[in-house]
Amino acid sequence: MDDLTVIVLAAGGGTRMKSKTMKVLHPIAGRSMLAHVLAAAQSLEPARIVTVVGNQRDQVAPHVQELVPEAVIAVQESQDGTGHAVRVAWEALPAEARRGTVVVAYGDTPLLQGESLRAFADFHLGSQHAMSILTGRVADPFGYGRVIRDESGVAAIVEEKDATEAQAAVDEINSGILAFDADFLDAALPRIGNDNAKGEYYLTETVALARDDGRTVGAFVLDDVRQTEGANDRAQLAALAKEMNRRILDRWMREGVTVVDPDTTWVDADVKLARDVTILPGVQLLGATVVAEDAVVGPDCTLKDMEVGEGATVVRTHGELGVIGAGANVGPFSYLRPGTELGAAGKIGAFVETKNAQIGEGAKVPHLSYVGDAEIGEGTNIGAGTIFANYDGVQKHRTTVGRHARTGSNNTFVAPVTIGDGASTGGGTVVREDVPSGALAVSSGPQRNVEGWAQRRRPGTKQAEAAEEAASRGTAPELGGTGPVGDNQE
């Protein structure tokens, strides 16, 4: 919007959060509360955004600069009220920028939508009002400024502490979001006094000033008043987070995503879901996670910054910064650490931890393994209980396993090591040297059976008894006959 300035107030202390983190920086749906408000402000494409910082500004200012590099940061040294805060913002702008329309919002109202701000700004621009107020009707107006109307519009905003009993009973409240004609604001700011119950410079005093000037003040009622709700303590933060989550899930369900249990499903604001994705109970999709069509996630998964391919299934899994290919299967009880890339139709199974591992198309790590700093070629099967020993106590090393290899159970691959295409390893192999393509590697020596050991060395035990009984029945197992590649799990 041409000549629109948005001022976001974020200087207040937020002491009720009882936190070393500044209030507006507390996250909801994967973004800080302030980031949500700035995104709404940016969606208006204003000519300029000013953010007023004060308390813990060493935390807040860099955050704003990262999110909106072109934003003007105005520093309010002491928090003397919303009128003072806007004055500080105004004075931070060069004289030639103090024109057009000014919208004031707060940094702690994360549910605020850009469309609502736009409708409000349009309402003000289409009117002759010196200023307009975004208002709402609430069941319990306690703590809010009450909107006092008369025949020509809004006559005043009266703060809780200054309200008479009759005024306190008014259920239309000032959301805190205001729009001004710049000329009026410019003239009004120096006239705001602090003669009130709190001894603060109230921005809301501009209503009376406009009326004194013979100007009118408009009110734009927002039906969805929760959009302007702020969080002052952790309980309100949780309530707003729940409400935002409900709204996010509603939107995805309207877009064709099945959410089996919205009460136990949490999806961050920046997550992207395709049609016909199914989310089972107990799932958190966080950060920049993307889930493609027909994938089924859950129950009980936490995926952060993950990419889940078309038709993949992910069950009881914790995954971060990785890729799960189309049609792949993950879980249950899998831990995918950053840098895991599972190819199409691949498998990471039960009790498997992976990290910085590229697992090829159709390759499988089905059971009880650790795969760190590895590349596994397409179609390869890694036997149960395999450890990719990537760490020598000082440095990390990589392991490469070729295509269509078959490695035995309970192997250790001591990195750096390479196992060739189509190679095999026997059960219990410790691979310390490269295995050529097509070779079978075995590292344990031939098995030696010491006959009658239990009877001699454990006499009088149930073990010895069982051995004795078996010997007398002649049911002792045949010697020999087991090949070196036992226990190759599929």
Q: Closest separation between CB of residue 127 and ligand UD1, Å?
A: 20
Residue (16 or 251) nearer to ligand UD1, CB: 16
Residue nearer to ligand UD1 on the CB measure, 160 or 378: 160
Pairing of strands 153-158, 146-150: antiparallel
Query: Bridge partners of 179?
Result: 103, 132
In this chain, which stretch among 198-206, 275-283, 315-323, 472-480 interacts with ligand UD1, using CB under 6 A? 198-206
Which helix (H) or strand (E) covers residue 301, if one does? strand 301-304
The alpha carbon torsion through 261, 267, 269, 272 (nearest 10 deg) reads: -100
Pick the binder of ligand UD1 from 30, 46, 81, 420 (CB under 6 A). Answer: 81
Nearest distance in Å: CB 17, ligand UD1: 12
Contact by Cβ (8 Å): 429, 411: yes
Strands 146-150 vs 72-75: parallel, antiparallel or unpaired: unpaired
Separate counts of helices (H) and strands (E) for the chain: 10, 38
Kindly state whether residue 79 participates in binding ligand UD1, applying the rule CB under 6 A: yes
Quick one: which segment of 80-88, 270-278, 411-419, 430-438 binds ligand UD1 (CB under 6 A)? 80-88
Q: Is 136 in the site for ligand UD1 (CB under 6 A)?
A: no
Task: Identify the residue whose tokens are 């691959």.
Answer: 413
> Of 35, 206, 6, which Cα lies nearest the Cα of 109?
35
Distance between CA atoms of residues 111 and 223, nearest Å: 13
Contact 179, 103 (CB under 8 A): yes
Number of residues binding to ligand UD1, judged by CB under 6 A: 27
What character string, x for contact with ligand UD1 (CB under 6 A) and - otherwise, covers 152-181?
-----x-x-------------xxxx-----
For the CB of residue 250, give the shortest distance to ligand UD1 in the complex, in Å. 25
Do residues 419 and 439 make contact, with C-beta atoms less than 8 angstroms apart? no
Nearest distance from C-beta of residue 20 to ligand UD1, angstroms: 17
Shortest Cβ 378–ligand UD1 spacing (Å): 55
Selected catalytic residue, list 124, 318, 367, 404? 367
Figure out which of the listed residues 52, 219, 417, 435 binds ligand UD1, where binding follows CB under 6 A. 52
Beta strand ranges found along 234-300 (DSSP E): 258-259, 265-267, 272-273, 278-279, 283-286, 290-291, 296-297
- Residue whose entry in the numeric block shows the structure tokens 């410079």: 201
Q: Contact region for ligand UD1 (CB under 6 A) — 77-85, 249-257, 350-358, 380-388?
A: 77-85
Does 289 bind ligand UD1 (CB under 6 A)? Our answer is no
Q: Is residue 124 annotated as part of the catalytic site, yes or no?
A: no
What are residue 302's DSSP bridge partners?
284, 318
Number of residues that make up the chain: 490
Token pair recorded at residue 295? 């994938």
**Each residue of 443-464: b (16+ CB within 10 Å) or e?**
eeeeeeeeeeebbeeeeeeeeb
Measured from the CB of residue 205, what is the shortest distance to ligand UD1 in angstroms? 8
Interface with ligand UD1 by CB under 6 A: which range of 76-84, 114-122, 420-428, 448-456? 76-84
In terms of DSSP bridges, do strands 131-137 and 48-53 run parallel, antiparallel, or are they unpaired?
A: unpaired
Give which of 99, 82, 83 is closest to 47, Cα–Cα. 99
Smaller CB separation from ligand UD1, 176 or 372: 176
Name the amino acid, one letter, at 294: D
Footprint of ligand UD1 on residues 210-239 (CB under 6 A)? 230
Choose between 241 and 296: whose C-beta lies nearer to ligand UD1: 241
Q: Which of 203, 219, 371, 384 is the binder for ligand UD1 (CB under 6 A)?
A: 203
Instruction: Kindly state the helix (H) or strand (E) to which residue 34 belongs, with its residue range.
Output: helix 33-42
Q: Identify which of residues 52 and 188 has a Cβ nearer to ligand UD1 in the complex.
A: 52
What minimum distance in Å lies between the beta carbon of 85 and ligand UD1?
Answer: 4
Question: Is residue 38 a contact residue for ligand UD1 (CB under 6 A)?
Answer: no
Q: Which is nearer to ligand UD1, 204 or 381 (CB)?
A: 204
**Residue 420: what residue type?**
G
Q: Contacting ligand UD1 (CB under 6 A), which of 30, 136, 145, 427? A: 145
Q: Which is nearer to ligand UD1, 82 or 334 (CB)?
A: 82
Contact 332, 348 (CB under 8 A): no
54 vs 346 by CB, closer to ligand UD1: 54
Euclidean distance between CA atoms 402 and 385, whole angstroms? 19
Residues 96-135, one symbol each (x = binds ligand UD1 by CB under 6 A, - = not), give ----------xxx---------------------------
Q: Is 373 helix (H, G, I), strand (E, B) or coil?
A: strand
Tell me if 32 contacts ligand UD1 by CB under 6 A. Answer: no
- Let me know: does 37 contact 112? Beta carbons within 8 Å: yes
Helix orientation angle between 33-42 and 57-67, rounded to the nearest 10 degrees = 40
204 contributes a contact to ligand UD1 by CB under 6 A = yes
Rule CB under 6 A: say whether 84 interacts with ligand UD1: yes
Q: Are 228 and 109 in contact (CB under 8 A)?
A: yes
Cβ closest to ligand UD1, residue 157 vs residue 285: 157
In angstroms, give the least distance from the CB of 239 to ligand UD1. 15
What amino acid positions are annotated as catalytic residues? 367
Residues that bind ligand UD1 (CB under 6 A): 9-12, 52, 76, 79-82, 84-85, 106-108, 144-145, 157, 159, 173-176, 202-204, 230
